[in-house]
Amino acid sequence: MRIQNSSAIVVGGASGLGEATVRALHERGAVVTIADVNANKGQALASELGLEFVGCDVREEGQVEAAVQQAAASGEGGLRIAVCCAGTGWAQKLAGSKGPHPLMPFETILQINLIGTFNVLRYAATAMISNEPAEDSERGVLVTTASIAAYDGQVGQIAYSASKGGVVGMTLPAARDLSQYGIRVNTIAPGLFDTPLLAALPEEARQKLGAGVPFPQRLGQPPEYAQLACQIVENRMLNGETIRLDGALRMPPR
C-alpha cells in the first residue's frame, strides 16, 4: 500500500508507540487522523502536525465507528491504513494470600486490549471494503499491537498476556476473512519499549531492563515500532503475520 496521500487512522495515537506512528505516517505523506481517549495529548499532537483528532475509547463501539468514519472522509480514496496501538496493563497474580485475582480488572484489560482491538479491526475493515482496489487489488492494511507477553507472560501478567495472546490469535483468521477484499492484517509484538508506561520507572530500573535485551542492549524506541508499521503497510506480501520486535528478548518468569 502506498503511504503517500493515503488516509490513515492511528488509534491510541496520542502518545508512545501510537504517537511515533502518527509522526512516521505523516512524514511519509499520509493523511492521518489521530484517535485517542486522551483528548489533551491528542489535540496537542494534532495541532502541532496540522492533523485531525477525534476522541475515542476503544471499548465504545460507537466512538470507534465515528472515528473510522471521520478518517475515511478525511482524504480521497477512503480509509487505507489503520493502526491500533491502544492498550494498557495490570499486574496481579492469578491467586495468592489475598485470594483470587479480581474479575473486574481482568475484564477491563480484555475490554481495552482485546475487544478494543477487535472493534478497530471490524469497523476499519468495513470502511476499507468499499474502496476502489489499488495495485494487486489491495484495498487496505490493518496493523494491530500485541506484546511478547503473549508468548512470554511473566508472573503477574495473566490479564495482560491473555489480552495480547488474543490479539495474536485474531491476526491470521482476520487476514483470511478479509483476503477476498484485498485487505491485509498484521500484528507487531513489541518487547521492552521506552513508552510512557516505562518512563515512570527510575532511570536505574530502566537501564537494567534495557541491559537484559540480547541486542541491542537497550529499550526499544517508539520510532522503531513506527518504522516497522510503515514497512508492513508498504510490503504487500506481508499478511496474517505477527512480528516480534524485541531484540531477541525472551522474558524470564520474573
Cell of 188: 507487531
Tens of pLDDT, residues 85-119: 999 988 899 999 999 999 999 999 999 999 999 99
* pLDDT (0 to 100) of residue 35: 98
pLDDT-derived band at 200, boundaries 50, 70, 90: low
Catalytic residue among 123, 151, 160, 181: 160
The Cα 236–Cα 96 span in angstroms is 48
The Cα 106–Cα 134 span in angstroms is 41
160 has catalytic annotation: yes
pLDDT-derived band at 206, boundaries 50, 70, 90: confident
Q: Is 233 exposed, middle or buried (0-12, 13-18, 19+ CB in 10 A)?
A: buried
Cell of 95: 491467586
The Cα 170–Cα 83 span in angstroms is 15
pLDDT-derived band at 29, boundaries 50, 70, 90: very high
Q: Is 173 exposed, middle or buried (0-12, 13-18, 19+ CB in 10 A)?
A: exposed
CATH number of 7-243: 3.40.50.720
| Among candidate residues 89, 195, 200, the one with its CA nearest the CA of residue 150 | 89
The Cα 213–Cα 246 span in angstroms is 8
Q: What is the rounded average pLDDT of the residues 150-177?
A: 96
> pTM of this prediction?
0.96
Helix axes of 116-129 and 61-72: crossing angle, nearest 10 degrees: 40
